[in-house]
Amino acid sequence: MVAIYISILAGILALLFAAGLAVYIMKQDPGDESIRSIGRAIQEGAMAFLIREYRVLVFFIIVVFVILALFVDYDITGKIGHSRSIPSTAISYLAGALGSALTGFIGMNIAVRANTRTTASAIEGLNPALRVAFNSGAVMGISVVGIGILGVAALYWIFKDPNIVAGFGFGASSIALFARVGGGIYTKAADVGADLVGKIEKGIPEDDPRNPAVIADNVGDNVGDVAGMGADLFESYVGSIIATMALGATAAFFAAGDEAQFSSSRFVLPMLIAAVGIFSSIVGTFLVRTGQQADMGRLLWALRYGIIAAALLVLIGSGLAVYALKLDFDIFWAVVAGLVAGVIIGLSTEYFTSYEYGPTKSLARQALTGPATTIIAGFGWGMLSTIIPIVVIAVAILFAYYFAGLYGV
């Protein structure tokens, strides 16, 4: 149970840290009236969309909650073979749905307020703007992992049943589906609308605030890329933890010898590693900074420095967690494989998308000859960019399976 308490503590600490970052952001200068007026329009539009979306989702959540309570918890058809005194699976589903919605709400609320403050800070220099922008993103990221690990650990602590915890992931997936797809459709529609007006209307540039579609485009960026992405990440984060926990719980029934003895440790290890990740990420946020005269290259290295430092701390913490739980140390090498794969994929994505590197510069040169060559070159670079992630993921899966079987994967 110590691992559960540590996980709950990590979740609470993450939420407190996110709240502190939010306070820091709100204390920054929001800029002059022209900046604030545009920011208010974006903020009002984003909140209107999110509230409307959540109103529709409420009915879906209620229907699924009732279905789970009747057919899973109370087993009114007798198909499952046992019933519960309280609708625990339905409650877990509801908690997951609320957690997913809450992460999107928190992230977007901070994002629409950080927009103007980042713009005002950029007048002073790159480092102040980086701190505001990075911390606003950290609010979303830290909130996602904090609410996720807190929900999973608290539900297991309350109900003591791994089957019930699975409902939490189902709830998170339900909201993520609608938030990601709905927000993405709105984002692209507004983006195309703004581009068309900018190309057709005389005297109005593409990103001119006099074009109402530009405001809608910025609203879509916040709705799809912040609220929708946050819900999607929450679902992925929670789902990966619950899936590994489920494999650990299954070992209690099918393993023998030493593996059966340590099956409970296998069950709580994912939560403990997630808690270590939270502590490491908090430390990493303090390491992301750059000088006033820094260029884009130094800015990217500042972000890399924070990521690599956090990854190293996770490696150390994961090794200690495996040792403390008296598990086979081969599991640690599975963690190493996944962590290294994540870092490599991130660097690969940066290489193919940043204008500091060859692929983007090459694509820009192709644009000089016309749209046809631009599309062909972009399509080619896009296909090439998938090679490294595919190979890295395949190798990481093989390593993880070799060291720890399906549990390691």
Count of beta carbons in the 10 Å neighbourhood of residue 180: 20
Q: Return the pLDDT at 262.
A: 41
**Alpha carbon separation from 328 to 138, 313, 320, 407 (Å, rounded):** 34, 20, 12, 12
pLDDT value, residue 137: 87
What pLDDT does 256 receive?
Answer: 46
Q: Is the pLDDT of residue 177 over 70?
A: yes
Residues 362-408 pLDDT 10s: 888 888 888 888 888 888 898 999 999 999 999 999 998 888 887 77
Q: What is the pTM of this model?
A: 0.84
At 287 the pLDDT is 82
Asked if residue 317 is part of any domain, the answer here is no
Does residue 254 have a pLDDT over 70? no
User: Percentage of the chain surpassing pLDDT 70?
Assistant: 92
Q: Residue 350 domain-assigned?
A: no
pLDDT band for position 81 (cuts 50, 70, 90)? low
214 located within any domain: yes
Question: Is the model's pLDDT at 199 over the cut of 80?
Answer: no
Q: In percent, how much of the chain has pLDDT > 90?
A: 15
Residue 10's domain comprises: 2-286
User: Does 282 reside within a domain?
Assistant: yes
pLDDT of residue 15: 92
348 or 298, greater pLDDT: 348
> What's the domain count of the chain?
1
**pLDDT, tens digit, 9 for 90 and up, residues 108-132:** 888 888 888 888 888 887 778 888 8
Residue 200 domain-assigned (yes or no): yes
* Domain contains 299: no
- Give the pair of three-digit tokens for residue 72: 């899973």
Structural domain includes residue 308: no
Average pLDDT over the chain, rounded to an integer? 83
> What are 258's two structure tokens?
């030493």
For residue 222, pLDDT over 50 is answered with yes
Q: Is residue 314 part of a domain?
A: no
